[in-house]
Amino acid sequence: MTARNQTTSHLLIILLLLVHFTQVAFSQTTAIQNSYNRPSTSLNGKWQTIVDPYENGFYNYRYEPFENQTNPSRSAFFMNAKAKDEADLIEYNFDESQTLDVPGDWNTQDDKLYYYEGTVWYKRSFDYSKQEENNRVFVHFEAVNYDADVYFNGTKIGKHIGGFTPFHFEITDLLRETDNFLVVKVDNKRKKEAIPTLNTDWWNYGGITRSVKLIETPATYISDYFIQLDPSDDKSIKGSIVLNGNLRATQTMRLIIPELKIEETLKVNENGVASFEIKSDKIQYWSLEHPKLYTVSILAGDDQITDQIGFRTIKTDGADLLLNGKSIFLKGISIHEESPINDGRGHSVEDARQLLTWAQDLGCNYVRLAHYPHNAHMVRLADQMGILVWEENPVYWTIDWKNPATYANAKNQLTELIHRDKNRASVIIWSMANETPQSDARNTFLSNLATHTRNLDPTRLISAALEQKDYQGNPNVRTIDDAFAEIVDILSFNQYIGWYDGGIEKCNRITWNITHDKPVIISEFGAGAKYGLRGSKTARWTEEYQDHLYQETLKMIDKIDQLRGVSPWILVDFRSPRRVLPQIQDDWNRKGLISEKGERKLAFETLRKYYEGK
Ligand code: GCB
């Protein structure tokens, strides 16, 4: 081979590899729609783990990945090797290693791992008998933070990037009746080019943080559906259903909503998609007072799935926000996904119920799930409890705006979130980002995300938590001067007047010059207070200071004509490595209205009364 040919063929191989890895990372992982209600086999519980800061189980001593070898060495941890006899050298052993609970973060399960950011290998063995010979089996992860390299019976089955969205890999061809082993290399090292990036104000909890399960489907199965009210006709249920598998075998499917007497037979096209539009003048709309959910069933060949879906419209009209055509004010609170019951990352239905019940006690009809996708229980419960939801992509602060791989990653995480929650009536806003510094590259990045989101889901509104600034250099007049404000449907911004921005007395000097004819949401305001620390209303960290700031801020923001919602920062104190002040913070951001132990601070009641009057 000539040198030139060699270069060309090398380039071709690199290109093919690139295509291969991009696909592995970004397209083959889309989880099955409504994994929530699919019959499944849980793989939760104790997993054997190896902490591997040098990634010794992934690279050989020349720092070449074992997985690139045709016959990977038994030293690779994903081979789950055992010494065969006393002469055999194997320097790891999952079966003798410590266990960690799945779901769960590692930081709060082992003191040694409290600050750990790096790689931990997880292994779980299981036996499995399929119900039908021809069925397919998928291993489904609700979330792993952050990179997950997944191996099954010694073979790599895929990689997923992003800490808060579900993904799956098919294992049908590798599955045995006994002694299967699933190995996941979890790496939560922060990276400049990642989403989120190096710097955040929350704890980077690592691990398999949400449930893992096996989902068995017929050979042809219902992989996706989107069933919502037509935004331009509230007497029409519109949508599409997607099949995966042998499409010639399944040419029609049925959509049934018994309470509306809907029973439609739909034709499947050559791509496995059935689109429909069904008229009904009997639809009872999902609302805050009556969060009506309909049982919706889809039957396709040997597969069937049932969901609980609410129908409603959400729109803006000038500065008005309309739910089912009626003007609403979003009485909200921001929430991080930390367990109010156990320590660390929240994941259970009890965690979700406690957080949303506290929000309701506060008089909220709306929650901002900050700053990343929360677990599915939150939106499922919000659907049932009649609480509106803002969901957010973790595009936070100083993202690597010019990096195409960073954009692809942000887009993929957002796509996976929308894919998971597009049938939830409670979800009304997709938020693109939080407090991002303005530049042309950032504007292009966010605008492209917004266009992508509108294409995927024309039934919801788009926002982002922006920042405010002085109007024409006058510190007492504030404005929003941001190109992305022209693109969003709802103009949201964070402001900390009285905390980072002067003292509380400043609040009554501020006026607003906001000219956008759009609903405005104050997506954050707040002050730190240590529960039980009482004193003067001018002394930082006292409950009185926080309470006073709430009183003055609420008066100040009421002067904004277009104000249609608020989500103060934040419901519960949450862990952050940026918060180091001894005796006060000790790793906790203290802006919660409730302490991490569940104790309510003074400002809780102040906000509750404000909402009562709205
Ligand atoms: C913000 C951020 C939020 C922080 C908060 C704070 O503006 O959006 O993530 O936690 O301020 O407490 O400083």
Question: If you measure from the C-alpha of residue 430 to the centroid of ligand 1, how many angstroms do you get, rounded to a whole number?
Answer: 19
Ligand 1 atom 10: residue of nearest CA:
201
Residue 169, CB half-sphere, CA atoms under 13 Å: how many? Answer: 22
Both tokens assigned to 455: 């294409």
CB of 523 shorter than 6 A to ligand 1: no
CB of 334 shorter than 6 A to ligand 1: no
- pLDDT at 12 > cutoff 50: no
For a mutational test of ligand 1's pocket, the pick from 197, 199, 200, 201, i.e. the residue with the most ligand atoms closer than 8 A to its C-beta, is: 201
What single letter denotes the amino acid at residue 472?
A: Q
- pLDDT at 548 > cutoff 90: yes
DSSP lists the bridge partners of residue 315 as 322
- pLDDT attached to residue 278: 98
Nearest-angstrom CA–CA distance, 389 and 333: 10
Question: Which has the closest alpha carbon to 34: 164, 155, 166?
Answer: 166
The pLDDT tens digits for 158-205 are: 999 999 999 999 999 999 999 999 999 999 999 999 999 999 999 999
Cα–Cα separations (whole angstroms), residue 207 to 121, 188, 337: 9, 8, 14
Both tokens assigned to 62: 């020349």
Question: If you measure from the C-alpha of residue 496 to the centroid of ligand 1, how many angstroms do you get, rounded to a whole number?
Answer: 9
- pLDDT at 26 > cutoff 70: no
Question: Which has the closest alpha carbon to 297: 382, 220, 225?
Answer: 225
DSSP lists the bridge partners of residue 184 as 122, 150
CB of 569 shorter than 6 A to ligand 1: yes
The pLDDT tens digits for 432-486 are: 999 999 999 999 999 999 999 999 999 999 999 999 999 999 999 999 999 999 9
CB of 573 shorter than 6 A to ligand 1: no
Q: What percent of the chain has pLDDT over 70?
A: 95
State the pLDDT confidence band at 4, using cuts at 50, 70 and 90. Answer: very low
Nearest-angstrom CA–CA distance, 386 and 583: 39
- pLDDT at 22 > cutoff 90: no
Question: Which has the closest alpha carbon to 333: 113, 582, 137, 600?
Answer: 600
- pLDDT attached to residue 23: 37
**Cβ neighbours of residue 184 under 8 Å, at least 6 residues apart?**
121, 122, 123, 144, 148, 149, 150, 151, 208
CB of 589 shorter than 6 A to ligand 1: yes
Question: If you measure from the C-alpha of residue 179 to the centroid of ligand 1, how many angstroms do you get, rounded to a whole number?
Answer: 47
Please state the rounded mean pLDDT for residues 248-253. 86
CB of 494 shorter than 6 A to ligand 1: yes
Rounded to 10 deg, the angle between the 376-385 and 349-361 helix axes is 40
Q: What percent of the chain has pLDDT over 90?
A: 94
Question: If you measure from the C-alpha of residue 152 to the centroid of ligand 1, how many angstroms do you get, rounded to a whole number?
Answer: 40
CB of 524 shorter than 6 A to ligand 1: yes
Nearest-angstrom CA–CA distance, 603 and 572: 12
Question: If you measure from the C-alpha of residue 561 to the centroid of ligand 1, how many angstroms do you get, rounded to a whole number?
Answer: 25
- pLDDT attached to residue 29: 74
Please state the rounded mean pLDDT for residues 575-584. 98
199 burial type by CB count under 10 A (0-12 exposed, 13-18 middle, 19+ buried): exposed
Please state the rounded mean pLDDT for residues 242-266. 94
- pLDDT attached to residue 246: 85
CB 128 within 8 A of CB 41: yes
Question: If you measure from the C-alpha of residue 222 to the centroid of ligand 1, how many angstroms do you get, rounded to a whole number?
Answer: 40
Q: Is 526 helix (H, G, I), strand (E, B) or coil?
A: coil
Ligand 1 atom 7: residue of nearest CA:
494
Question: Which has the closest alpha carbon to 310: 384, 230, 420, 231?
Answer: 384
Nearest-angstrom CA–CA distance, 227 and 239: 5
CB of 591 shorter than 6 A to ligand 1: yes
Question: If you measure from the C-alpha of residue 201 to the centroid of ligand 1, how many angstroms do you get, rounded to a whole number?
Answer: 6
- pLDDT attached to residue 18: 41
Q: Is 335 helix (H, G, I), strand (E, B) or coil?
A: strand
What does the mean pLDDT of the chain come to? Answer: 95
Both tokens assigned to 351: 């965690």
The pLDDT tens digits for 400-440 are: 999 999 999 999 999 999 999 999 999 999 999 999 999 99
- pLDDT attached to residue 354: 98
Both tokens assigned to 152: 């099954």
- pLDDT at 123 > cutoff 60: yes
State the pLDDT confidence band at 28, using cuts at 50, 70 and 90. Answer: low
Please state the rounded mean pLDDT for residues 515-529. 98
State the pLDDT confidence band at 107, using cuts at 50, 70 and 90. Answer: very high
Q: Which atom of ligand 1 is nearest to the CA of 494?
A: 7
CB 503 within 8 A of CB 546: no
Ligand 1 atom 4: residue of nearest CA:
201
- pLDDT attached to residue 358: 98
CB of 201 shorter than 6 A to ligand 1: yes
Nearest-angstrom CA–CA distance, 553 and 206: 36
State the pLDDT confidence band at 220, using cuts at 50, 70 and 90. Answer: very high
Between 5 and 353, residue with greater pLDDT:
353
The pLDDT tens digits for 278-311 are: 999 999 999 999 999 999 999 999 999 999 999 9
Length of the chain counted residue by residue? 614
CB of 209 shorter than 6 A to ligand 1: no
- Rg, Å, the chain Cα set: 25
- pLDDT attached to residue 248: 78
CB 140 within 8 A of CB 148: no
Question: If you measure from the C-alpha of residue 554 to the centroid of ligand 1, how many angstroms do you get, rounded to a whole number?
Answer: 18
Question: Which has the closest alpha carbon to 551: 595, 602, 502, 510?
Answer: 602
CB of 435 shorter than 6 A to ligand 1: yes
